[in-house]
Chains A and B, each alone.
Chain A
Amino acid sequence: MLMSAPTAVFVLLLLGIPILQAVYFSMTQWDGMTATWLGPAAYATELGDPTFWRVLLNNGALLLSVPVAMAIPLGIAAVLHEHPFGWRFFRTIYFLPTAISWVVIGMVSARLFAQQGGVNDLLAAVGLGAIRTDFLAGEWSALFAVAVTFVWSMVGTNTIIFLTGMSTLDTSLHEAARMDGAGPWRIFVDITVPQLKRFIQFSFIMTMISAFTALFSLIFVMTGGGPGYGTTTLEFFVYQSAFSQGEFGTGALLGVVLFVIMGIIGLAQLRLLRSDD
């Protein structure tokens, strides 16, 4: 008991109490020094603010990239699992984004999506030069650029998850299906994917959590949340409200909303894990 006490106290002091404080301060008008109690009305006010919904809409739009951020790594893992020539080398390359800071990724990405950047050059090369644009200057095109970068960054982690999953597969089923004349695509869809269910769920949760809570650095470096509120997500809005606008109460409130969303995802994960047994 004594051996776990320091850990328990540490987590309680630095995470447990602050989250309770966040709930309290979310119902106040607070500049970091003096807080005036507003009560639950603070939530009503925030929910009536169109900016809040715009920010949530951005989060929603980013979630559309989650299936893509999973499908591409699933394909890569499936191919790597077949051990094509040089697969060890490829595996190292595909995992690499896992080690790189979103700050660095965002910095490169911002160049690639600029007016004279690589993405526009690529578009021009395939005959779409007419739509050459500074992606980061338009609200939706900037969000699109953030989403593409997010997908790129998730390739490493998700490929690792799927590849680990595939190494646990029962190969006798695959052999049997092959004997029965099933093609590789049929085998992948009907045998591999169902057997990977648990890994696919795990990757889904990880990707969702990243989409909601890991994009701060990317947005900070690529767009600063702009243009307008074009790429401001909930997590970025927490920072902006508190540290750019000095509204600590609103920031705390937004943080609580984010926490509730994470709680729902966490509960969903628990349900999924339970249903397996």
Chain B
Amino acid sequence: MTMLATSLPRGAAIRRRLSIRPIRIVLFVLMAAGSCVMFYPFLFMIDTSLKSQSQYLAGSGHSLISWGRLFAALPVGQELTNSTLVSALSLAIIVALSSTAGYAFAKLRYRGGVLVFLGIVSAMLIPMQSIIIPAYVNLSQFGLLDSYWGAVLLYAALGTPFATFLMTAFYRSLPDELVEAAIVDGLGYVSIYRRIALPLSTPAIATVAVLQFIQIWDDLLVGLLFLQNSDERTITVGLGVLSAGRVTDIPVLMAGSLLSAIPAVVVYLVLQRYLVSGLTAGIGK
């Protein structure tokens, strides 16, 4: 993003900055006003979570009561652990599958490879809702709905097509000479993947991981249906269920919302550039 700042010759940039001052003030005010609209929900959550139910209804006063009640109403620690476990397991599968397949599609040309690649990538078009009923019945027949595995497998399946697309594009950008030189050195294709391609692809893996982590952490539908034991519920599902139960204690809900949002926001703040490259990866060159 620093690229943006240097895209103009320095002199021109400075001249422009000085010449249209009033316009820049208007732009700043516009951006600030827009930011308030974008940030308002967070302020609302913070403010409301710091009230008790009666303070919320009265519209004044603050306290920590609702935070205390949150921990009584929801097994927050357990649910955060579940979210972390489910995301981590799904991510591990997605990264393993997409990096091996991506490497194969990009560097090992074999008969039918393009066809298999197209098959996997076109699965990106399958909406979760279109397969959720058969998947639910299939996985319940294997008894996978009573553990993390049903949800983990489905999250991994839904994330793998796009991740494979992204990893293939990344490995294609690595020069073929790299692989050829390694072969001359006596390495096999598998050890080239392990020792050269995989370590080089950390940025692409980070992109895949950030994008999928946020999606899995924030998801409701799969968790709602595929994590049948309440001990295995993720925090997002726990909140969704709590809110649908017509709980009137809004401050408790807001405290929970805020808490559930923090991990994804932290990941986003720290790894923003990977998220940006992931979201725009579909545009192509």
Contacts and interface: CB of A to CB of B under 8 A. Distances in A.
Contacts of B112: 1
A221 B218 contact: no
B218 A238 contact: no
Q: For the side of the interface on A, what is the size category?
A: 35 or more
B119 to A, nearest CB: 7
A14 B214 CA distance: 21
Interface in B1-36: 1, 3-5, 7-8, 12, 23-24, 27-28, 30-32, 34-35
Given A96-B268, A239-B129, A7 B120 contact: yes
Contact of B240 (A2, A4, A152, A220): A220
A109 B133 CA distance: 29
Main secondary structure of the interface of A (DSSP, over half): helix
A94 interface: yes
Contacts of B219: 101, 217
B254 A15 contact: no
| Residue of B35, B45, B122, B123 with highest tally of chain A CB at under 10 A | B35
A32 B137 contact: yes
B214 A256 contact: no
B253 A98 contact: no
Nearest to A114: B250
Interface string A189-230: 000000000110010001000001100110011001000000
Contacts of B272: 92, 95
A131 interface: no
Contacts of A6: 97, 100-101
| Residue of B38, B98, B160 with highest tally of chain A CB at under 10 A | B38
A40 interface: no
Contact of A198 (B260, B261, B276, B283): B283
Interface in A75-111: 76, 79-88, 90-111
A101 B244 contact: no
A96 B133 contact: no
A25 interface: yes
Nearest to B283: A202
B260 A213 contact: no
Contact of A221 (B93, B130, B240): B240
A64 interface: no
Contacts of A81: 4
A220 to B, nearest CB: 6
Nearest to B263: A99
Nearest to B5: A83
Interface residues of B, number: 100
Interface of B: 1, 3-5, 7-8, 12, 23-24, 27-28, 30-32, 34-35, 37-42, 44-45, 48, 93, 97-98, 100-101, 103-105, 108, 110, 112-113, 116-117, 119-120, 122-123, 125-138, 153-154, 156-158, 160-161, 164, 189-190, 193, 214, 217-221, 224-225, 236, 239-240, 243-244, 250, 253-254, 257, 260-261, 264-265, 267-269, 272, 275-276, 279-280, 282-284
Interface of A: 1-4, 6-8, 10-19, 21-22, 25, 32, 76, 79-88, 90-112, 118, 152, 155, 157, 160-161, 164-165, 167, 171, 175, 184, 198-199, 202, 206, 212-213, 216-217, 220-221, 224, 234-235, 238-239, 242-243, 248, 251-252, 254-256, 258-259, 262-263, 266, 273
28 contacts: A4-B100, A7-B100, A14-B154, A14-B156, A15-B126, A15-B158, A18-B135, A22-B130, A22-B131, A86-B31, A90-B35, A98-B214, A98-B268, A99-B214, A99-B218, A100-B261, A101-B261, A103-B257, A104-B218, A104-B261, A110-B243, A161-B279, A202-B283, A213-B127, A213-B128, A239-B132, A242-B133, A251-B133
Given A103-B220, A259-B125, 6 more contacts: A8-B101, A18-B134, A101-B260, A111-B250, A199-B283, A221-B240
